[in-house]
C-alpha cells in the first residue's frame, strides 16, 4: 500500500462482508468475534444480517503459541460463547488476517467449547504473510503493507469503524 493511498471505508467493507456471508444464513450460523476489531465487526454483521442471537466473543491471549514470548496482554477480556458450539456452523470474525496464528489460537479455544460442524473465517483485510496454512472464507480487501507498517481498526467519535495505519 502506498503512503498516499486513502484507507477504505471500514463500514462499507462491513456491508460488503455481510453480503458475502448472507448465503450462509439458511445454515443458522453463529458469529464469533475475536477481540477487539473482530468483535466490533461481528456486532456490525449481526445488525446488518438481522440476526437475533448474541454473538460470541473470544480473547485468544492464553491460546497463542507465542504466549511465553509475548506474555499476557494487559487488556485481556473474558471469552463469552452464549450458544452451543457442538454441531454448530460458526463464522469466526477478525479485522486483519496476517500470519494465521490468531486464527489458529481462536479455533483451539472454540474446540474447548465443543466440536462445531464447520468454522468459516471472515475478515475485512488480508495482508498475506501467512506462517500457518490459514485462509479466509470471506475477505473484502487484500492489502500489502510496507515493512514496519500495521493496519489497526478503531472506532471514531461517532462509533463508526475506521482504519488507521501505524508505523513501528
Give the pLDDT confidence of 11-35 residue by residue, as tens digits.
Answer: 999 999 999 999 999 999 999 999 9
Residue 69's pLDDT band (cuts 50, 70, 90): low
pLDDT at 67: 47
pLDDT at 23: 98
**The C-alpha cell of 157 is what?**
467519535
pLDDT at 73: 53
pLDDT at 168: 75
pLDDT at 81 over 70: yes
- Average of per-residue pLDDT across 86-108: 97
Cβ contacts of 160 within 8 Å, gap of 6 or more = 10, 11
pLDDT at 77: 80
Contact 96, 73 (CB under 8 A): no
What is d(CA 84, CA 82) in angstroms, rounded to the nearest whole number? Answer: 7
Q: 127-160 pLDDT, tens per residue? A: 999 999 999 999 999 999 998 999 999 999 999 9
More confident residue, 49 or 73: 49
pLDDT at 71: 52
**The C-alpha cell of 162 is what?**
475506521
Whether residue 105 has a cis bond before it, omega within 30° of 0: no
pLDDT at 120: 98
**The C-alpha cell of 19 is what?**
453480503
At 22 the three-state DSSP class reads helix
pLDDT at 4: 55
pLDDT at 86: 98
| Helix residue ranges, H only, 4-158 | 10-21, 37-49, 67-70, 101-111
Going by the DSSP 8-state scheme, the letter that residue 149 receives in this structure is E
pLDDT at 61: 83
Amino acid at each position: 500500500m502506498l503512503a498516499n493511498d486513502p484507507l477504505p471505508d471500514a463500514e462499507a467493507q462491513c456491508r460488503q462482508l455481510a453480503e458475502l456471508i448472507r448465503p450462509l444464513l439458511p445454515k443458522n450460523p453463529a458469529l464469533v468475534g475475536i477481540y477487539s476489531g473482530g468483535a466490533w465487526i461481528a456486532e456490525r454483521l449481526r445488525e446488518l444480517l438481522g440476526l437475533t442471537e448474541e454473538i460470541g466473543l473470544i480473547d485468544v491471549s492464553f491460546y497463542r503459541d507465542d504466549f511465553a514470548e509475548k506474555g499476557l496482554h494487559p487488556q485481556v477480556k473474558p471469552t463469552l460463547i452464549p450458544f452451543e458450539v457442538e454441531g454448530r456452523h460458526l463464522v469466526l470474525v477478525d479485522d486483519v488476517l496476517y500470519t494465521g496464528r490468531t486464527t489458529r489460537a481462536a479455533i483451539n479455544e472454540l474446540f474447548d467449547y465443543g466440536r462445531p460442524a464447520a468454522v468459516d473465517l471472515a475478515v475485512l483485510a488480508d495482508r498475506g504473510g501467512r506462517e500457518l496454512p490459514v485462509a479466509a472464507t470471506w475477505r473484502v480487501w487484500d492489502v500489502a503493507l510496507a515493512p514496519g507498517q500495521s493496519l489497526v481498526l478503531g472506532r471514531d467519535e461517532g462509533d463508526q469503524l475506521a482504519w488507521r495505519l501505524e508505523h513501528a
